[in-house]
Structure 1
Amino acid sequence: METTKRGGIPLYLWMLLGFVVGLGGGLYVNLTGQVVQPWAMDIIQAAGQIFLRLLFMLVLPLLFAALAVGVAEMGDLKSLGRVGLKTLAFTILVSAIAVGIGLGMVNLFQPGAGVDRELAAQLLAQGAEGASAIVGNAPKSIEAGKFFLDMIPSNVVTAASENQILPVMIFALIFGIGMVMAKSPATDRLQETLQGLLEVMMKLINLVIKLAPIAIACLMFNLAAVFGWDLLLRLGAYAAVAIGAMAIHMFIVYPLLVWTFGGMNPLKFANGVREPFVVAFSTASSNATLPIAIKAAEEKLMLPRRISRFVLTVGATANQNGTALFEGVTVLFLAQFFGVDLSLGQQLVVMLVCILGGIGTAGVPAGSLPVIALILTMVGVPAEGIGLILGVDRFLDMCRTTLNVTGDLVAATVVSRGETDAIIPAGEPEPVAPGA
């Protein structure tokens, strides 16, 4: 992976080094009362802002291309309509459950609460100017159906220019459905063009992520200089809540789904997915684990090859409920940290964006960072806060990727139930998701 190494050293180790350097420098300033020269602080803050602005610049075309291509890969409605609809319905349902668990855990344990409100307001003011335009366009309630009306853009170009993420994502989903319905050589070429756009955006995201160690050091220095040791306590609580929510989804929700809707013994399922489980945890990449997952589905779980390959190929991009859970937990934690009270309506907005973001998030290490940064500004939280979680993101990335890959195999098991496809003998061609 292009994001995994830099100068022969894994990038996550550089990111951890940046986290430690920034945290150590910020704590030293906080504890000793040292005064940092204004010009130096300007440079430090500008370096973090450049990283965030680069993410914002790329995230909308990335999401649009990923969502549209992900839906278009459902294939021909006549031949794969039932499988595609079952896969899409399962993805939305399980992602909603995942995000619901995450939001419930954050609201219950309040890992970001208790921070000095005066200090939080100070950092909140720093990020207010850059976020004001986006915040002004964010839905604030769901009263009288206005929330659902605002989801449909009257002008998608205007919505994109105003950073209205939700209407753009809805348009991308509708656009993808249109490409499936209007299947033709021309739409195939259009899908290839969008796939090319997605690959270009991924290439650029990979380049931007390489700047993350420097950005993390700058962002963490600024946060640690203001909050001191309280920062570490909140970060530990956040990681514990995130891992706890993922564990509930992995060891309670998934076995129930496999047993109830997939008709398979959860122990048999767990035994069959051990290899992709380990590979997903070690690589933190759904895409890199895809070949291993396909092999496990066919040889261990004995799922129909046509169904399993389609579901797993699409799921590597579209069925990322672990990522959706992580995004929801992170946004609410940072909102609590900075003292931004989100109403029930706003939390439902976050939930919906996280579900759609899980469909449009790249299946590579750190692929969820651009989406999280955009959601933060959408609800009025300084995007600089993302630096707070980047130091522990590698381990959480490994956990949520494992959740994503296991969820893909759960989806393949559930969707395969009731299908009459015989397993295609080796050596014969089998249909897979277009573009796989």
Structure 2
Amino acid sequence: MSLHLRLLLGFLIGLATGLVVHVGAGADSGWLQVLTTYVTQPVGQIFLRLLFMLVIPLIFSALVLGVAEMGDIRSLGRIGGRTLVYTVVVSTIAVVIGLVLVNLFRPGDGIDPQVAQSLISDAAERAGTIVASSQQAGGIGMIVQIVPDNVIRAAAANDIIAVMFFALIFGIGLVATDTPGTARVKEFFQGVFDISMTLIHGVIRLAPYAVACLVFNLAAQFGWDLLVKLAGYVGVALLAMAIHFFVVYSIAVRWFGGMSPLAFFRGSQEAIVMAFTSSSSNATLPTALKVAEEELKLPPRVSRFVLTIGATANQNGTALFEGVTVLFLAQFFGVELSLLQQLTVMFVCILGGIGTAGIPSGSLPVIAMICGMVGVPPEGIGLILGVDRLLDMSRTVLNVTGDLAAAVVVSRGSGEAPSDTA
């Protein structure tokens, strides 16, 4: 049985048993408190701790490699620079669309605040120093604190933004320094990334059991309200992805890439279908390379570079999904996020989109990390894992199509765009 089917089965078992308990025994039942305290909650917490354990090495190595693979400093300054700017701008637009729609429709509102508050205390204690320090500093002080004075201390304090900033700077330094030693350093970080991915795969194998426990806890507490909130969450996430897919990408390829949106989407069909069925940007990469050269007629030198980097570093759909999910869970658990906190979430989602592995459920550690950072119970990810199959397929389509759109835009900016695409 595939992982997605096992996740769905775990979700359904946890949901069904939780609803039965909620209706039959009630959320305050004594035996239920014993079961959640000594069985289901510890299982879920161990799963989340395993994810948190791997966040720093995974994101740091992915970001360093994402920048380092841009080649030499000249490529970084030209094609790499354009790709990076495009990625940041379009990912920002994607996250903003998601945050606006979640704030507009508020799919997570309506849960009993007292019940929700009972699940927040543990996460609030683990909330990272990023939001707290940014609230204290404010304005220019928040920008200053992005630059760590001690990256080891920043990692120990779970200051993820500071760690990400150092990873980006380190990657640029790795590109700018062409020596045998730096080649070995790059190999070292490739090894760290490979090891982290192997461990992530192992941890995700435990996800169906953790999902069953996490969803059982939530269903027993919230009852049928849970299903209504999940339907609203899925609807808002898909609406945000559709707007970004049809509106933002059309504008990007027409205005900045000089290509007809209709021709772009028609030529990208094979890659879009592959992305939807595989739920993996990395698995779709060979098809995307073929589409870029044979259907979109893009110059191979540019398309191969942009698409290879983009499979890991240009994850618009993942950034959008992470932002929508964190705000939905914040609403669900009654955690009010200020504008500054939402901007912090947006910033981390953009960088998280660059450092997220292009595999199914690759965004899971980042979402758990962001939730813990802003005081949202990370166990809420059990909810979204149960309905994640459709969203995973959809955001992968957004990621892969975004890579192809980036290749179109960067090709024109490099002066190598085909003349028959307008």
Residue 244 of structure 2 aligns with which residue? 249
By how many angstroms is 1:186 displaced? 1.3
Q: Which amino acid aligns with 1:263?
A: G
Q: Distance in 2 between matches of 1:389 and 1:418?
A: 39
Is the aligned partner of 1:95 residue 2:91? yes
Q: 1:292 aligns with which of 287, 295, 302?
A: 287
Is the aligned partner of 1:57 residue 2:49? no
**Secondary structure in structure 2 of the residue aligned to 1:357:** helix
Q: Distance in 2 between matches of 1:359 and 1:304?
A: 24
Superposed, 1:116-265 pairs within 5 Å as 116-129=112-125, 131-132=126-127, 137=132, 139-140=134-135, 143-265=138-260
Instruction: Tell me the TM-score normalised to structure 1 length.
Output: 0.92
1:21-46 deviations in Å (ceiling 9; x for gaps): 00011111111125335442221100
- Judging changes above 3 Å, is the alpha-carbon distance between structure 1 residues 120 and 418 closer, same or farther for their aligned structure 2 residues? closer
Residue 22 of structure 2 aligns with which residue? 30
By how many angstroms is 1:418 displaced? 4.0
Q: Distance in 2 between matches of 1:382 and 1:178?
A: 37
Is the aligned partner of 1:111 residue 2:103? no
Q: Distance in 1 between matches of 2:20 and 2:378?
A: 24
By how many angstroms is 1:402 displaced? 0.4
Residue 363 of structure 2 aligns with which residue? 368
Q: Retained in 2: the 8 A contact 1:59–1:371?
A: yes
Q: Retained in 2: the 8 A contact 1:286–1:404?
A: yes
Q: Which amino acid aligns with 1:95?
A: S
- Judging changes above 3 Å, is the alpha-carbon distance between structure 1 residues 13 and 233 closer, same or farther for their aligned structure 2 residues? same
Q: 1:393 aligns with which of 388, 391, 397?
A: 388
Q: Distance in 2 between matches of 1:10 and 1:242?
A: 24
Q: Distance in 2 between matches of 1:113 and 1:300?
A: 45
Q: 1:321 aligns with which of 309, 316, 340?
A: 316
Residue 331 of structure 1 aligns with which residue? 326
Moved more, 132-141 or 168-177: 132-141
By how many angstroms is 1:407 displaced? 0.1
1:138-170 deviations in Å (ceiling 9; x for gaps): 633673311111111110000001111110000
- Judging changes above 3 Å, is the alpha-carbon distance between structure 1 residues 323 and 142 closer, same or farther for their aligned structure 2 residues? farther
Q: Retained in 2: the 8 A contact 1:138–1:379?
A: no
Q: Retained in 1: the 8 A contact 2:310–2:403?
A: yes
Q: Distance in 2 between matches of 1:356 and 1:37?
A: 40
Q: Distance in 2 between matches of 1:149 and 1:124?
A: 30
Q: Which amino acid aligns with 1:111?
A: P
**Secondary structure in structure 2 of the residue aligned to 1:381:** coil
By how many angstroms is 1:263 displaced? 0.1
1:308-339 deviations in Å (ceiling 9; x for gaps): 00000000000001000000000001111111
Q: Which amino acid aligns with 2:186?
A: Q
Instruction: Tell me the TM-score normalised to structure 2 length.
Output: 0.95
**Secondary structure in structure 2 of the residue aligned to 1:123:** coil
Residue 16 of structure 1 aligns with which residue? 8
Q: Retained in 1: the 8 A contact 2:131–2:374?
A: no
Residue 73 of structure 1 aligns with which residue? 69
Residue 84 of structure 1 aligns with which residue? 80
Residue 303 of structure 2 aligns with which residue? 308
Q: Retained in 1: the 8 A contact 2:128–2:159?
A: no
1:3-57 deviations in Å (ceiling 9; x for gaps): xxxxxx1111000000000001111111112533544222110000000000000
Aligned residues: 414
1:350-405 deviations in Å (ceiling 9; x for gaps): 00000000000000000000000000011111111111111111110100000000
Q: Retained in 1: the 8 A contact 2:68–2:174?
A: yes
Q: Retained in 1: the 8 A contact 2:130–2:161?
A: no
Q: Retained in 2: the 8 A contact 1:59–1:370?
A: yes
Q: Distance in 2 between matches of 1:13 and 1:85?
A: 40
- Judging changes above 3 Å, is the alpha-carbon distance between structure 1 residues 189 and 421 closer, same or farther for their aligned structure 2 residues? farther
Q: Retained in 2: the 8 A contact 1:142–1:345?
A: no
Extract unaligned runs of 5+ from structure 1: 1-8, 424-436
Q: Retained in 2: the 8 A contact 1:102–1:326?
A: yes
Q: Retained in 2: the 8 A contact 1:66–1:198?
A: yes
Extract unaligned runs of 5+ from structure 2: none
1:186-241 deviations in Å (ceiling 9; x for gaps): 11111111011101000000000000000000000000000000011001000000
Q: Which amino acid aligns with 1:43?
A: V
1:92-140 deviations in Å (ceiling 9; x for gaps): 00000000000000000001111110111111124334x2455775633
**Secondary structure in structure 1 of the residue aligned to 2:199:** helix
Q: Retained in 2: the 8 A contact 1:22–1:218?
A: yes
- Judging changes above 3 Å, is the alpha-carbon distance between structure 1 residues 253 and 132 closer, same or farther for their aligned structure 2 residues? closer
Residue 429 of structure 1 aligns with which residue? none
